Structure 1
Amino acid sequence: MAERYGPWSGGIVDRRTASLLGNVDFRRLYAGHAVSRIGDELYLVASMWLVYALTGSTLYTGLAGFLSRFPQAIGFLLGPLVDRSPLGRLLVVVELAQGVVVLAVPAAAALGFLDVWVVLAIMPALATLARLSDPAQNAAIPRLVDDSLLVRANSLASTGDRAIGALAQAGAGAVIAAVGAVALYAVNAATFAVSALCFALVAIPSTEMTGTIPSARDYLADLREGVSLVRGSVIGHLVVAASLAVAFTGMATAVLPAFADAIGGAGTYGLLVASMTAGTLVGAIGASRLESAPFGPVTIAGFAAAAGCWLVAVSVDWLPAVLVCFGLAFVPVGSYNVLVSAALQTGVPEDLLGRVTSTTGSVTAVVGPSGLLLGGYLGDVLGSASVIVASAIGFSLVASYWLAVPSLRGFPSIGTLEPGTFAC
């Protein structure tokens, strides 16, 4: 566990937050993640809008979302490599590789052969690289901070990411309207370079497995060990519930450009995405206050409330009200994301965390892209508002699943979990 602290004063923030901010390596990891996240949010807005602008079809925006997420399905194959790799070096290489890939769109535009297929082609490449970066960042956190600070660490990271991301998304619509979506790809490439520099400065402690090269038999054994832990514990039910939530969110995401276009245009699209991010931010900020509350009942109530907010959003025709409802729907999602991350980082042994994170990501990736494709298809057939209504009904089904499964319904507070709980 790294204990390198800088001269941070706790006069403004509480003791636990001050302890985190005084951890030099955590600050650098957080800075790299935050900068990379800014680029990701700009890329999200730019890519979805550019695809819609080039085609005018929600079917293509659904396909774009599918291609950007489906490669996550192979993430479980990369998990053993993450657990055995020097995490700092891995993060630097992956960030630089993503920066090179994303430059393909500005290059194609400069050479005069940009079309929708160029935009679609880079999406799976970036998503595959992210399957190395995301689990590596997740696995690094418990190596840098104490177990008692994991919820606060995830809350702090998520809060900062969402705050900056919301501003980036809100501004992205205005930038697209002014200079076009292609310019955001160039900015995204620059953010990858900056995040790589930040990660290069982080000293991430090794484990016994770090730097070892597995044989084919060892690799398969590592793979089975991660999958078995997911299947044999409450993590499996968490994955099912998360997959449903991702699928229904994907349906709404696929039609969001068309929904925004019907009520405003590119600027409105940026505002809608920003409102969702702002809601997630508020939820992340409040997550620390929920770590002592029973996680099961909190999640059930949260997803039920989110479903209601989405239904209201499509039934009003006043833009400020629509934005507020979209934001409120994602408040429970923000808290849920932080608390689940902390639960996994506490309950899963450190030497298995990369594999478990990759496996859970792979499972949700199999279901999530299907929601994007279905949403894109239904958007052309039924209209964007109808798809968002269907997504709201889907969120209520997620709440019902948590209510129906005893281990989820009775899931205790995150603060009471013991290290390695899920391996017992």
Structure 2
Amino acid sequence: MTHTAPPTKQSRTPVWPRWLGALLAFYVALTVVAAMSEGVYDIAFANLALDLSGLVSTIGIVYCVGYGVEVVASIAMGPLLDRRDAGQVLVVSYLVKIGIFVLIGLSSSFLSSHLWTIVIAAAAVDFVHHVGGMALFVLLPRIVDRHTLVKIQGIAATARSASEILSPVVAGLIIAVLPGARGLIAAAGFQILALALFAGLLMTVRRAAASQPVEDTETEPKEETAHSPSLPSRREVASTIVSSRPWRRYVAFHCLSVLALSTLFLSWLPLMREALDMSAARAGAFLAFSTVGAVLGGLIVAKSGPDRVFASMRWAPALAGAGTLIAATLGSSLWLLALGLITFGLGTTVYFRSAGLIVQLHAPIAVLGTWNGLLDAVIRVVGAAGILAAGFLFDLVGGHAVFVCLGLGLLVSAALWSRFGQRDQENLTATPLHEGLPTM
């Protein structure tokens, strides 16, 4: 009688490796801490501007200047991220913000008692903060694989949305304890913590790369690649985007979606207060339902993979448009208003994260900074136009009409994205610059 050995189980790569859990934990913590810092310094700068001028319009000037310098940063600093280590640029951005916050928070009354110094400081912080965000956007595809990137972006969206509920509360408590310019000291503390978390994130990635088998190319995090000294110029990148049919279609469809969504962002409160006759407190409370949808949207992105990104671009704006129409036409029912807000928040979050992932996954990784910077500048200008148009449209035609038009516009956007077919998707990586430069 012969005995056969029992079958041995084949070893498989774990679905959720230990390094991925640590990586996500560091990134979520980094996202939350960054949101806390942003909430504190936004309120601190706004209060300083209001106290020094006595005019509410001054707050608008501070934010307008900040938005303008972000557009400049997108165009001007993109090439720097391609020619320098994006991680080092991010570290420098943290250090500069820490320096500005400490300088104003601990300095003599001169820096904190002149409006022009506050406007310049706020603009400098917005510029550096935006460059840091661009650096992180460029860095992630260079240190993790495609599937991990999608998971990180989805969970980060959930963490960011949850932080938007907590951040104003934390910021208000800090400003109450540390009024005036001293509140910026707390913002500096959050930035120091963010810097430490970023260091932990990089250590996790490097340990994961060292522990993965050499032949395991699917889950192995990639080290940041060296940059070629002869990268194409900003003009060459812009010319490539304009001459590429799928990238032109991406920009056109994305602009239409952003125009509608950016207008809606600032229109929910006027709709609920004027068209639905709600109090300011109740309208503000109902906005939390859109955050619930955003949290769910981030989880949906995290569960999807790179192959589902384009499908999300088709149904996400349709979902946001449906939520908008539900709120506009049936919002007198509080249950349906809540449903509309949740649906809008879910669709919006999935859409914006998916749109960013298309760039990260399909632009040449060696010029991702320049590529994304040019696209981001265009989108920000379109978004600003939508924000400026929101108030005028409400006064001109009323809230219901604006919401119905914007909801229908999002449905049109979804229909356009449904025509972004397989050929367009494949040709996103078929530009002349892709021939000599790798993608993810």
Q: Same fold (TM over 0.5)?
A: yes
Aligned to 1:189: 188
Using a 3 Å threshold, how does the CA distance of structure 1 residues 350 and 69 change in structure 2: closer, same or farther? same
Aligned to 1:137: 136
Aligned to 1:93: 92
| CA distance in structure 2 between the partners assigned to 1:246 and 1:49 by the alignment | 30
The answer to whether the Cα contact below 8 Å between 2:258 and 2:383 also exists between their aligned partners in 1 is yes
Aligned to 1:40: 38
The answer to whether the Cα contact below 8 Å between 1:105 and 1:114 also exists between their aligned partners in 2 is no
Q: 2:298 aligns with which of 274, 284, 309?
A: 284
CA displacement 1:314-354 (0-9 Å, x = unmatched): x5496x98666444422111111222232222212321222
| CA distance in structure 2 between the partners assigned to 1:46 and 1:309 by the alignment | 37
Using a 3 Å threshold, how does the CA distance of structure 1 residues 250 and 147 change in structure 2: closer, same or farther? closer
| CA distance in structure 2 between the partners assigned to 1:323 and 1:77 by the alignment | 41
The answer to whether the Cα contact below 8 Å between 1:79 and 1:358 also exists between their aligned partners in 2 is yes
The answer to whether the Cα contact below 8 Å between 1:73 and 1:366 also exists between their aligned partners in 2 is yes
1:129-278 matches, within 5 Å, as: 129-169=128-168, 172=171, 185-201=184-200, 202=202, 205-209=223-227, 221-231=232-242, 232-251=244-263, 271=285, 274-278=288-292
CA displacement 1:81-109 (0-9 Å, x = unmatched): 10111122211110121233356775799
State how many pairs are aligned. Answer: 391
| CA distance in structure 1 between the partners assigned to 2:58 and 2:362 by the alignment | 40
CA displacement 1:227-255 (0-9 Å, x = unmatched): 24433253333333443444444445557
The answer to whether the Cα contact below 8 Å between 2:89 and 2:132 also exists between their aligned partners in 1 is yes
Task: Give the TM-score normalised by the residue count of structure 1.
Answer: 0.72
| CA distance in structure 2 between the partners assigned to 1:48 and 1:388 by the alignment | 31
DSSP-derived class of the 1:382 partner: helix
CA displacement 1:229-282 (0-9 Å, x = unmatched): 4332533333334434444444455577888999656x7787566554443222
Aligned to 1:5: none
The answer to whether the Cα contact below 8 Å between 1:166 and 1:275 also exists between their aligned partners in 2 is no
Using a 3 Å threshold, how does the CA distance of structure 1 residues 28 and 419 change in structure 2: closer, same or farther? farther
RMSD between aligned residues: 4.5
| CA distance in structure 1 between the partners assigned to 2:279 and 2:179 by the alignment | 17
Unaligned runs of 5+ in 1: 1-13, 213-217
Percent identity between matched residues is: 17
The answer to whether the Cα contact below 8 Å between 1:72 and 1:131 also exists between their aligned partners in 2 is yes
1:8-407 matches, within 5 Å, as: 16-18=15-17, 21-22=20-21, 24=23, 28-44=26-42, 63-74=61-72, 75-102=74-101, 120-169=119-168, 172=171, 185-201=184-200, 202=202, 205-209=223-227, 221-231=232-242, 232-251=244-263, 271=285, 274-289=288-303, 291=305, 292=308, 294-311=311-328, 315-316=331-332, 325-375=340-390, 378=392, 382=395, 386=398, 390=402, 393-403=405-415, 405=416
Task: Give the TM-score normalised by the residue count of structure 2.
Answer: 0.70
In structure 2, what residue type is equivalent to 1:345? Q
State the 1:132 CA deviation. 1.7
The answer to whether the Cα contact below 8 Å between 2:40 and 2:171 also exists between their aligned partners in 1 is yes
State the 1:294 CA deviation. 2.4
Aligned to 1:4: none
Q: Which has the higher contact order (CA 8 A, sep 6+)?
A: 1
Using a 3 Å threshold, how does the CA distance of structure 1 residues 303 and 274 change in structure 2: closer, same or farther? closer
| CA distance in structure 1 between the partners assigned to 2:113 and 2:89 by the alignment | 31
The answer to whether the Cα contact below 8 Å between 1:309 and 1:325 also exists between their aligned partners in 2 is yes
In structure 1, what residue type is equivalent to 2:146? D
Using a 3 Å threshold, how does the CA distance of structure 1 residues 87 and 302 change in structure 2: closer, same or farther? same
Using a 3 Å threshold, how does the CA distance of structure 1 residues 226 and 391 change in structure 2: closer, same or farther? farther
Q: 1:409 aligns with which of 418, 423, 435?
A: 418
State the 1:288 CA deviation. 3.9
Bigger Rg, which one: 2
State the 1:362 CA deviation. 0.9
